[in-house]
Amino acid sequence: MKKQLFLAMAVVLAAGLTSCGSKKQVAQPASARGDVEIEVPCKETGFDDSDYFRGTGTSTAINKQSARTAALENAKGVIRRKLGGFVQGLSADYSTAVAGQAQADKVQRLMETEMNEVVERMLNDAEQICEKMFITGNTGQYESWISLQIPKKMMIEKMEQALTSDEELEVYFKREEFRKYAEDKIQKMKEARKEATGR
């Protein structure tokens, strides 16, 4: 009788353990959880490559043109912020190297002014490489996505032209040395982006 009781208890215990084990959560694929992947418009054209600085902007508005204008400005803003660091770093490194510590601050300020003006002119002429427009189903608003690009080589050339046309900077300007510093800074930006995004 005792053996039968122990046997029955063992069966019940095993069944309990099995049912507890079956409650253990197993990682499910996204589709099984009901997750939905969202397609990001202009995704592939929003990243810099070896030849171009790029940026993607988006905006939503009740007016189609307002949405487009704001998306365009946002795309410019992405590139502007990216190039702000580039201009500041390049002007600081180059001015210290060619002007010495005594004149470095003055030369850096002059360089930044000229180079930022080049950036703004190039942003105004930036090539549009992607544009998507949607009407949102729940609100009826327009959603605009725009990607822009600026050629790196052309930007450096235009910066060189601007710096050589300034009488104060012309004394310190050495074209080949400037190009070397600019290319080195672009390479560092590329490496930092790859480390951060894997692209």
Which residues, listed in sequence order, are joined to residue 157 by a DSSP beta bridge? none
132: nearest Cα among 21, 56, 19 = 56
Contacts (Cβ under 8 Å, ≥6 apart) of 75: 55, 56, 57, 126, 146, 147, 148
What pLDDT does 29 receive? 56
For 57, the 3-state DSSP assignment is: strand
Mean pLDDT taken over the chain: 83
Rounded to two decimals, the pTM is: 0.76
Q: Which residue has the higher pLDDT, 23 or 183?
A: 183
Q: Is residue 10 part of a domain?
A: no
Of 1-15, 28-42, 58-72, highest mean pLDDT: 58-72
Q: What is the pLDDT of residue 31?
A: 56
For residues 179 and 156, is the Cβ–Cβ distance under 8 A?
yes
Confidence of residue 33 (pLDDT cuts 50, 70, 90): low
Residue count (the chain): 199
Please report whether residue 91 resides in a domain: yes
Per-position DSSP letters for 175-188, written without gaps between them:
HHHHHHHHHHHHHH
In a domain, residue 11? The reply is no
Q: pLDDT, tens digit, for every residue of 139-196?
A: 899 999 999 999 999 999 999 999 988 888 877 788 888 999 999 999 888 888 777 7
Average pLDDT over every residue of 125-142:
93
Q: Please check whether residue 144 is in contact with residue 58, taking contact to mean a CB–CB distance below 8 angstroms.
A: yes
Q: Classify residue 25: in a domain, yes or no.
A: no
CA gap 117, 166 in Å, rounded: 13
Residue 23 has pLDDT above 70, yes or no: no
- Looking at the chain, the whole-number percentage of residues with pLDDT higher than 70 is 81
What does the pLDDT look like over 55-68, one tens digit per residue? Answer: 999 999 999 999 99
Residue with tokens 């949405």: 67
158 inside domain: yes
CB count within 10 Å of CB 12 equals 10
DSSP 100-128: HHHHHHHHHHHHHHHHHHHHHHHHHTPEE
Name residues whose C-beta falls within 8 Å of residue 52's C-beta, 6 or more positions apart in sequence: 149, 150, 151, 152
Predicted local distance difference test score (pLDDT) of residue 152: 94
List strand residue ranges (DSSP E) for the chain, in order. 52-61, 127-135, 142-151
Domain count, the chain: 1
Domain coverage including residue 158: 43-188
Residue 35 in domain: no
Task: Please indicate, yes or no, if residue 22 is contained in any of the structural domains.
Answer: no
Q: Has residue 19 got a pLDDT over 70?
A: no
pLDDT value, residue 30? 52
Inform me whether the pLDDT recorded for 132 exceeds 50: yes
Contacts of 197 (CB under 8 A, 6+ apart): 47
In a domain, 97, yes or no: yes
